[in-house]
Structure 1
């Protein structure tokens, strides 16, 4: 159902500052914590003694201590010690390749021998003081591919987000779709339109008039396994639109890391990176709150959609031109899963 030989965002470092974090990723129950020398570690959330979740324990001197009987686990999945007991023969539990980078913790749930840190995407906004970022996390009960469909076709904004970023011109403007290798790109450019409420506020924040016609753009980029980055913005009409100089526009990158929990649930790491007034922390929080409300509007729709699909598994869904980005993204995912299955099969021969 999902590729495993790839890097997924598992959590943010602040989620396990005081105690271990247990989280299910791609069907794997994993515990994240700070091991030796403060390095992030990830092992099975399973104590080899009695099967208790290690995430209910604590960390001491870089070792993960089971909260049931005090077993001490190393970052490599080997039992180190246990009060009054001999543990030399204890079986190893699985440890996962894990890296802290760009403000996120990335985990590899597939074949550990294939995990290459260089495959973690570069994020121009993550380590650049000229950019500001604010985001959050939602747990959503839906197939991760439904969220990819949602983000690769923004037509739904007119209806789901009518009070914030939606407008009729989204429906009226054709969407263009293309592929560059394993990247799928959908784009929509709306010229000489009225900025919706969210973008009016962004224009004001950038000290620009909010009551004049604007050119608006949405450029969505899917990359495997399930990342979607969306360039969005508005510029005063007649000044170049997407290519307008900074003094005429307000633009951002909508950040979407979609991590499968199970086949019908996800961890959705959302955020917005902006390239204007990067030192204004109050504006960052204002935008984060506004964007959080926008994404919250998607939750019920996606969860109810998932419920319908489970209740009516034999229904055939229609595909329109606006669905092309999601369809192409799914094909890439299907190919990656097939390649993984073939690799596994070849190793068992």
Structure 2
């Protein structure tokens, strides 16, 4: 089950250019395309004539054209024309609220009236020229909540990411979980340690001694429906850690937009936003490449985990203190779904 009345990232803006894109979001098969004035549109991927996938068609003069028999459709799902046919009684195809913001295409799978009153979430790193962002997209064969569990408990870094961001001190340092309004926060602070390879690289970009002792932080923030922003970084030891001045630290925000595709598949839009050397495009590419490799290490783990859970659906899983962030996030999701069901 998924929260319906929420904005989900459905695609990166550069995924939808001159051709339509078919994508499933929360069990809805959609086609995304650019209509007149380059305005993004999202409608059900279904031609009312014979049920063909509109995503296999093309866009001409801002109209979506079915690649089967040439039916033309507008962004509201209404048929505009079809060769040698009267279309005034053709059924309307469902359309979805859609917005383009921050280089992402956002879709609302629920009530249109609620969408009209709910703005797309805002993020400070996306609205300032002092920040740079680079990221990508993975399709993962697992329940989206498994990725939430993964990101709200970074203890796994010691084992899954041992050659990049993992280190034994993560295991040895307690994690704290708390609620701040409707946000779940898990945080871990490590003092007087050596930086792992990825952060040694980042320190080098900042002109810091990569061999120096550092204070390291991991602050994970979950918001419904499934967005997680993680403050991560290191600072030269004894300079205030997360609060250290810019010249003493290397930090960033790990950006995680987790979008359900079906009950056992998901889209993962990952990236990193940083507020140092923001104009260095080469550095952005290098960090994106490194981060993409790190996140790829999670895929095999999560997909195998999903296969196990599907194979043994009656087995209970343990809930330890390190799982508290994921457990609280799931409670928020369940509460929102229940409220939607009751209001319906």
Q: TM-score, normalised by structure 2?
A: 0.99
Equivalent residues of 1:103, 1:126 under 8 A apart: no
Equivalent residues of 1:99, 1:117 under 8 A apart: no
Shift in alpha-carbon separation, 1:308–1:324, aligned structure 2, 3 A = same
SS in 1 for 2:125: coil
- 1:347 alignment partner in structure 2: none
SS in 2 for 1:186: strand
Q: Residue 178 of structure 1: CA displacement?
A: 0.5
Equivalent residues of 1:254, 1:271 under 8 A apart: yes
Matches within 5 A, 1:86-125: 86-116=86-116, 118-125=118-125
Distance 1:53 1:59 in 2: 14
- 1:215 alignment partner in structure 2: 215
- 2:238 alignment partner in structure 1: 238
Whether 1:328 aligns to 2:328 is yes
Any runs of at least 4 consecutive aligned residues in structure 1 with deviations exceeding 2 A, and if so which?
116-119
SS in 2 for 1:231: strand
Whether 1:168 aligns to 2:168 is yes
CA deviation vs aligned residue, 1:120-173 (integer Å, no higher than 9, x gap): 211111131111100000000000000000000000000000000000000010
Unaligned residue ranges in structure 1 (runs of 5+): 345-349
- 2:288 alignment partner in structure 1: 288
Q: Residue 36 of structure 1: CA displacement?
A: 1.9
Distance 2:38 2:128 in 1: 24
Distance 1:127 1:117 in 2: 21
Shift in alpha-carbon separation, 1:47–1:101, aligned structure 2, 3 A = same
Distance 1:307 1:179 in 2: 31
SS in 1 for 2:124: coil
Q: Which moved more, 1:244-253 or 1:121-130?
A: 121-130
- 1:149 alignment partner in structure 2: 149
Distance 1:238 1:34 in 2: 52
SS in 2 for 1:119: coil
Distance 2:330 2:77 in 1: 34
Distance 2:166 2:34 in 1: 42
- 2:23 alignment partner in structure 1: 23
Equivalent residues of 1:7, 1:107 under 8 A apart: yes
Equivalent residues of 1:33, 1:41 under 8 A apart: yes
Equivalent residues of 2:18, 2:34 under 8 A apart: no
Distance 1:114 1:9 in 2: 17
- 2:67 alignment partner in structure 1: 67
CA deviation vs aligned residue, 1:273-304 (integer Å, no higher than 9, x gap): 00101111111111000000000000000000
Q: Residue 117 of structure 1: CA displacement?
A: 6.2
Distance 1:131 1:67 in 2: 42
SS in 1 for 2:163: coil
Q: Residue 112 of structure 1: CA displacement?
A: 1.1
- 2:251 alignment partner in structure 1: 251
Q: Residue 102 of structure 1: CA displacement?
A: 1.1
Report the number of matched residues.
Answer: 344
- 1:228 alignment partner in structure 2: 228
CA deviation vs aligned residue, 1:179-221 (integer Å, no higher than 9, x gap): 1121000000000000000000000011111001000000000
- 2:308 alignment partner in structure 1: 308
- 1:317 alignment partner in structure 2: 317
Equivalent residues of 2:81, 2:87 under 8 A apart: yes
Distance 2:289 2:82 in 1: 46
Unaligned residue ranges in structure 2 (runs of 5+): none
